[in-house]
């Protein structure tokens, strides 16, 4: 039986968790009743959100923004008293100092304070921290929590009709994650500073995700390609066809057994036999298959498809979605929230939204595209069923109507969400699949497949959904090619052979992770939560533990070193299964089934033992500086290769008096005529690594990739020619 949820009563100071606050400079002001003016103060996180909901509420309400979190653990120290039940020491964040001062002033004389951050753990924690601050100012102040999943007039007014107390289960769940990640990060990171390099970090979810990237790269290195061949026959009906249709058919059986075609010699032998044999249709199978629409977007699925279809990184997707949720100016209509809350793992849809979608589908596509009952989708285990999936706030707000108000990327993401939602409420698509079996003599069997759409169904709204498949590992997994057009054939009909096509293939290694595939794996393994995927990837790339090549993430030497040292000394922390179980424990706090202090104690016992051993056993992997033949361009002293948080670099032997540094030469020279500089790998803040000339700023040549070796060789040869 689930325990009843704890809550903070309105008007009382939250004391469910002990905390220390340092707010001496913010002395509580004595509230004075305001004559006239707003009676109620509403606090949300962002100015955009405040602007959108302000127009829904009357003159009695004043809506202001907290600009996100106002209290947190200080960055300068761990600030968690492990010996006393993990008591956190919260302070007002430096950037929030003036904001809090203004919020206290805004709260003076208000009858009720409504805290209305986002509808999740993080939003509940912000509400609790705000309540703590205002309760210190006025212990009798009435504070209520308001929660809405979409920023529309109906949703907002309904939420204000049903305010509630702050849910301490949600607060405790957020607090447990925050404290756990702080304890892990602030105790592992110093070990990395001492033994690897300054400025490094480790994290409970971040380090496991990095391990996936490193392990995949090592799989790729070990992979040995295997050769295999396929043989296709170009065929057509022999007689009686008004239009000759030539189609491909693949060899699938030799003497009723799948062949292993491993070399050119075997292909040539079969190609000599086949022209002498009659080709004949042995069987035709036609089946109708229904393709059901997919569920509307959860956060992870939106991030995956935004990457696959639009090329958006996970972080960019969430930034754009946040703007669409909080509100966009739509001319005379004012600021409007276009989508529901974008951090969710649920695929539920409100009945009112389903009804509106049904009206739009009936009007736009016709009744045949509308199922008898709205489809029901199953959320993954542990999803917060009270939330909705990501959907447009109105099905009738079509993307074309927003072209003048949205930036290009905003419109692309909105259209993806809008189409996915509509498709999820429509009927299945129906396809006719045809499989034709062909015999060449009695020995060789060929197969041809084709597909024809019979009814568009949901694809009328969303289009065809490309299903990503793993690379085939052997010839048996190589798919039979699908013909674009098939002739009208009959069983027993003879066929004409036009050509035999043998093709060499090599098995491919597993693909490197990109944003979509890494998020998919993290979700499948139960590691992290919707709100953590984008920041996890950003941290891995920002710390230079991995680099992007195209869309793929490739671990750096530094990333591999960090993973190896953590796996050796903290195997449980880097274990995917253990991390997933920890996520379930943290979720149980939100459900009221476990106390947050007990969960942290259970984790910290084994962790502290690993930590104690690592303090004495972890060996430094810092490498001694390596001398080079290069000279410092400032003082003329020798340059050494050193190892820092961003990898290898060159530094002057005269450090610290001379602080000259430069990137490691790539071995390629600048392609600009008469330059003679070397190409260096560089990285500017906020952009991917690139290659620039060592003669900058005299030469401004930059490139995303190094020239190919053969191109560089040709250039060198041409420069030496008389």
- Residue 474 CA, chain-centre distance (Å), reads 30
Q: Are 520 and 513 in contact (CB under 8 A)?
A: no
Q: Return the number of other C-beta atoms located less than 10 Å from residue 333's C-beta.
A: 11
Helix, strand or coil, per DSSP, at residue 616: helix
Residues annotated as part of the active site: 341
521: left (phi over 0), alpha (psi -120 to 50) or beta: alpha
Quick one: pLDDT at residue 385?
A: 57
Going by C-beta distance under 8 Å and a sequence separation of 6 or more, which residues neighbour residue 363?
Answer: none
Quick one: 189 exposed, middle or buried, by C-beta within 10 A (0-12, 13-18, 19+)? Answer: middle
Helix or strand (DSSP H, E) at 421: helix 408-424
Q: What is the mean pLDDT of residues 347-354?
A: 93
Distances (CA, A) of 394 to 54, 152, 350, 391: 20, 9, 12, 8
CA distance 307 to 677: 37
Whether residue 693 is predicted with pLDDT greater than 60 in this model: the reply is yes
Q: What is the mean pLDDT of residues 390-409?
A: 96
For 84-106, write each residue's pLDDT tens digit: 999 999 999 999 999 999 999 99
Q: What is the DSSP string of 129-192?
A: HHHHHHHHH-TT-EEEE---SS-SHHHHHHHHHS-B-EEHHHHHHHHHHHHHHHHHHHHHHHHH
- Residue 66 CA, chain-centre distance (Å), reads 27
Going by C-beta distance under 8 Å and a sequence separation of 6 or more, which residues neighbour residue 298?
Answer: 344, 345, 346, 347, 379, 380, 383, 389, 390, 530
For 583-600, write each residue's pLDDT tens digit: 999 999 999 999 999 999
Domains annotated for the chain, with CATH where assigned, are 7-164 (3.40.50.140), 179-222+514-579 (1.10.460.10), 227-286+434-449+475-506 (2.70.20.10), 299-424 (1.10.290.10), 626-720 (no CATH)
Per-residue pLDDT band at 685 (split at 50, 70, 90)? low
CA distance 89 to 498: 80
Q: Are 691 and 706 in contact (CB under 8 A)?
A: yes
Q: What is the mean pLDDT of residues 2-27?
A: 39
Q: What is the mean pLDDT of residues 530-542?
A: 91
What mean pLDDT is reported for the chain? 87
Whether residue 465 is predicted with pLDDT greater than 70 in this model: the reply is no
Least confident of 350-359, 391-400, 435-444, 680-689: 680-689
Per-residue pLDDT band at 706 (split at 50, 70, 90)? confident
pLDDT above 70 covers what percent of the chain? 87
Distances (CA, A) of 531 to 305, 348, 388, 527: 16, 18, 15, 12
Whether residue 471 is predicted with pLDDT greater than 50 in this model: the reply is no
For 111-143, write each residue's pLDDT tens digit: 999 999 999 999 999 999 999 999 888 888 999
Between the two ends of the chain, the Cα-to-Cα distance in Å is 89
Closest CA relative to residue 448, chosen from 479, 417, 475: 479
For 176-213, write each residue's pLDDT tens digit: 999 999 999 999 999 998 888 877 889 999 999 999 99
For 612-653, write each residue's pLDDT tens digit: 999 999 988 877 788 888 899 899 999 998 876 666 788 999
Quick one: 71 exposed, middle or buried, by C-beta within 10 A (0-12, 13-18, 19+)? Answer: buried
Six token digits for residue 285: 């199978």
CA distance 30 to 49: 29
For 293-311, write each residue's pLDDT tens digit: 999 999 999 999 999 999 9
């Amino acid at each position: 039986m689930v325990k009843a949820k704890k809550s903070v009563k309105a008007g009382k100071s939250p004391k469910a968790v002990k905390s220390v606050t340092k707010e001496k400079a913010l002395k509580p002001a004595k509230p004075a009743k305001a004559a006239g003016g707003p009676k109620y103060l509403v606090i949300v996180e962002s100015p955009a959100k405040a602007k959108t909901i302000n127009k829904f509420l009357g003159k009695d309400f004043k809506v202001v923004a907290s600009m996100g979190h106002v209290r947190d653990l200080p960055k300068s120290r761990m600030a968690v008293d492990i010996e006393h039940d993990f008591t956190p020491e919260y302070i007002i964040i430096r950037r929030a100092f003036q904001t809090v001062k203004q919020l206290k002033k805004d709260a003076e004389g208000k009858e009720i304070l409504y805290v209305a951050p986002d509808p999740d753990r993080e939003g509940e924690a912000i509400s609790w921290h705000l309540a703590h601050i205002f309760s210190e100012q006025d212990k009798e102040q009435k504070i209520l929590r308001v929660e809405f999943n979409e920023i529309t007039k109906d949703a907002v007014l309904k939420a204000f009709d049903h305010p509630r107390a702050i849910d301490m289960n949600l607060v405790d769940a957020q607090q447990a994650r925050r404290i756990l990640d702080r304890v892990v990060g602030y105790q592992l990171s110093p070990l990395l500073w001492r033994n690897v390099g300054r400025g490094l970090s480790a994290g409970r979810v971040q380090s496991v995700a990095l391990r996936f990237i490193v392990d995949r790269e090592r799989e790729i290195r070990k992979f040995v390609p295997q050769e295999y061949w396929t043989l296709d026959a170009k065929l057509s009906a022999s007689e009686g066809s008004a239009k000759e249709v030539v189609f491909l058919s693949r060899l699938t059986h030799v003497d009723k057994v799948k062949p292993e075609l491993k070399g050119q010699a075997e292909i040539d032998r079969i190609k000599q036999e086949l022209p002498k044999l009659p080709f004949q249709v042995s069987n035709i199978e036609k089946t109708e298959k229904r393709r059901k629409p997919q569920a509307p977007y959860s956060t992870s699925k939106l991030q995956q498809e935004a990457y696959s279809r639009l090329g958006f990184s996970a972080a960019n997707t969430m930034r754009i979605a946040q703007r669409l949720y909080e509100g966009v100016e739509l001319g005379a209509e004012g600021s409007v929230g276009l989508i529901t809350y974008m951090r969710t793992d649920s695929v539920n849809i409100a009945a009112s939204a389903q009804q509106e979608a049904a009206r739009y589908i009936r009007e736009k596509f016709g009744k045949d595209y509308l199922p008898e009952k709205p489809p029901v989708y199953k959320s993954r285990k542990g999803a917060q069923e009270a939330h909705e999936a990501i959907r447009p706030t109105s099905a009738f707000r079509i993307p074309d109507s927003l072209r003048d108000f949205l930036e290009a990327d905003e419109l692309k993401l909105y259209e993806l969400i809008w189409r996915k939602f509509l498709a999820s409420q429509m009927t299945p698509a129906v396809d006719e699949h045809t499989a034709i079996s062909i015999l060449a003599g009695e020995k060789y069997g060929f197969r041809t497949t084709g597909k024809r759409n019979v009814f568009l169904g949901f694809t009328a709204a969303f289009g065809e959904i490309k299903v990503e498949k793993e690379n085939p590992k052997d010839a048996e997994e190589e798919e039979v090619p699908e013909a674009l057009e098939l002739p009208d054939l009959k069983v027993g009909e003879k066929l004409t052979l036009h050509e035999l096509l043998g093709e060499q293939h090599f098995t491919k290694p597993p693909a490197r992770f990109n944003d979509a595939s890494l998020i998919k794996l993290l979700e499948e393994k139960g590691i992290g939560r919707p709100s953590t995927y984008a920041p996890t990837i950003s941290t891995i790339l920002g710390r230079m533990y991995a680099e992007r090549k195209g869309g793929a993430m490739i671990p750096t030497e530094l990333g591999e070193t960090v993973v190896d040292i953590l796996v050796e000394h903290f195997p449980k922390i880097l274990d995917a299964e253990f991390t997933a179980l920890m996520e379930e424990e943290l979720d149980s706090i939100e459900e009221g089934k476990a106390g947050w202090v007990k969960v942290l104690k259970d984790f910290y016992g084994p962790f502290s033992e690993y930590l104690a051993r690592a303090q004495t056993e972890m060996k430094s992997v810092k490498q001694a500086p390596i001398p080079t033949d290069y000279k410092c361009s400032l003082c003329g002293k020798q340059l050494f290769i050193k190892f820092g948080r961003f990898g290898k670099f060159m530094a002057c032997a005269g450090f610290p008096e001379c602080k000259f540094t430069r990137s490691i030469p790539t071995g390629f020279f600048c392609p600009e005529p008469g330059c003679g500089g070397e190409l260096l790998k560089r990285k500017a803040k906020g952009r991917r690594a690139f290659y620039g000339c060592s003669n900058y700023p005299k030469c401004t040549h930059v490139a995303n990739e190094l020239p190919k070796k053969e191109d560089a060789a040709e250039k060198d040869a041409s420069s030496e020619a008389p």
